[in-house]
Structure 1
């Protein structure tokens, strides 16, 4: 098997000719992280996440478009050139993607550079249609003459952390509250219940093994969606966990009964937000609702820590909607050149509304 490319050996980095080179001791990786800090970006737009994804899934090194202001990195968009289109380094394991930009003007310039440097079709997903940078990027694509489409992919549930945890619980259905309390009481009657959170690199390998076993049990193993079902998936989440542990954002939580883990949640805490990436439980204990109980504990910690939100990620499935009715839309952005081939491609993907109309709905 051929070795995968080094994902951080970026190709065709587009930098304005008038830009001042950054200080040699500051790597692109460091500048990228500093930009993400300045704009409070989610972890999925940081170089560590992109690096882990490319190592696990990419067949070619990414191209990274840059915009600089006075020598300082102000905008980044990593993409991968494919046969039919240029796309972001994303797949079903990516909760969110999009241009990382200091402001809307920079996002628009990134779009201009994408048109000038890449050509052909561009596909970015899953993007946040409500984010100003996404709107500015899409507007700039339209102004450049591109044909743009937006396709709704999913609605990701989240809980806004406002007020007290008790007040939040009172807004949930009475049946749901009673079920959680009853399951917790029954589990405590069965043995000693604890919640443990792995945050550091020390002991992480063992904790990850426990997590993968729980995440891959039950229906996931048979469906092929489990982390353990593919080597690339295991490599990706292992590297993401190590990266997050090194920077202090890992929240790998376990619900244990008499010291035995029966449910787990892989989370990342960044910028006052807890992102729940993956979870699972031991089906032998399904009657206790261990996954539900661990979600309750995670939400409780979010309120206690004064975070801004708890992000379920993924789709608006019933077990998530039991905790909230709020969702965030995620869309696929397509942009085609205004050529015969581009028009044909646009037609092939359906008669969807222009992106800017969707972005302006709110």
Structure 2
């Protein structure tokens, strides 16, 4: 359905259901049809009266997909009408590129993150010339420093399904040596997300929709980005780099030729970072937008009841 309604590559079934396989609780699939054709789809966590659209930490967007002509408010209310005591539907991480924030007294929205993106159009030379002087000069000096030390700078792109296991294993080894390991969020061989990324990337690679971009100093892997692409969209899912290379920036040394290949290739029209906007993003792009959450109530009475429940002591509504 994602390809039919124009959702993101991270809303393809191969991605969403791989994440759903890790869910601690059972999920329900809801499908809305018109004249027998699916017009909306969602994976749900069923809470009494307050169902939620499924989302996990590795998912940039919630598991809600709809045709652009449909109304999010009416779809959600139709779904609530089919659920026992359906008062409010919580939908997290909605991209306004596909679903504009509803304007309705039955809907409350909340900004989630501001996320950067990059339009890939025109010539790469023009794009690069428009970057800040500091970025361009800094990367040039880094290359000169590596060359002066006799260190060969090399990048590669892995695309084949057979390469994904190695790509994820190498990524995990690199990330496990960084700051994320201290926080317990690094993708490591014994982390549940290791299997998720390996299996998911293998399935996408089998369809020609996965790329892992890697940067080496000599034979030493120093940066890696796990990426998906489909219908002109290129999503950078995860990035890691060797922190011991500071003050060099291997992630930037990887990203420049990666973006150059996207501009020159002609198949990609936009790059999505799908993460919180940070200062370093602004060196590469000036474009961003807000991802948002929405709560849709079944009706005015339902909204009043939910408000009353929220005021009750110990309420989780």
Whether 1:255 aligns to 2:221 is no
State whether residues 161 and 310 of structure 1, in contact with CA within 8 Å, keep that contact through their aligned partners in structure 2: yes
Q: Which structure carries more relative contact order (alpha carbon 8 Å, separation 6+)? A: 2
Q: Please report the TM-score for the alignment, with normalisation by the length of structure 1.
A: 0.77
2:108 maps to what in 1?
149
2:75 maps to what in 1?
110
1:15 maps to what in 2?
none
Counterpart mapping for 1:5-16 below 5 A: none
Mapped partners of 1:220, 1:170: distance in 2: 34
CA deviations 1:62-94 (Å, max 9, x no partner) are 222212244333321222213573222213322
Mapped partners of 2:200, 2:127: distance in 1: 31
CA deviations 1:24-58 (Å, max 9, x no partner) are xxxxxxxxxxx222223212222111111111234
Counterpart mapping for 1:262-341 below 5 A: 262-306=222-266, 307-337=268-298, 338-339=301-302, 340-341=304-305
2:315 maps to what in 1?
none
Mapped partners of 1:147, 1:107: distance in 2: 11
State whether residues 64 and 78 of structure 1, in contact with CA within 8 Å, keep that contact through their aligned partners in structure 2: yes
Distance change >3 Å, CA 283–CA 101, structure 1 → 2: same
SS in 1 for 2:188: helix
SS in 2 for 1:288: coil
Q: CA deviation at 1:308?
A: 0.7
SS in 2 for 1:166: helix
Runs of 5+ in structure 1 lacking a partner? Answer: 1-34, 349-362
Mapped partners of 2:189, 2:170: distance in 1: 15
CA deviations 1:231-256 (Å, max 9, x no partner) are 22223222221221122111111101
Counterpart mapping for 1:128-139 below 5 A: 128-131=95-98, 133-135=99-101, 138=102
Q: CA deviation at 1:346?
A: 6.6
Distance change >3 Å, CA 84–CA 231, structure 1 → 2: farther
Mapped partners of 1:134, 1:78: distance in 2: 20
SS in 1 for 2:291: strand
Counterpart mapping for 1:168-187 below 5 A: 168-187=127-146
Q: Please report the TM-score for the alignment, with normalisation by the length of structure 2.
A: 0.87
Counterpart mapping for 1:1-362 below 5 A: 35-60=1-26, 62-82=27-47, 85-97=50-62, 99-105=64-70, 110-118=75-83, 119-131=86-98, 133-135=99-101, 138=102, 142=104, 147-189=106-148, 190-228=150-188, 231-306=191-266, 307-337=268-298, 338-339=301-302, 340-344=304-308
State whether residues 97 and 126 of structure 1, in contact with CA within 8 Å, keep that contact through their aligned partners in structure 2: yes
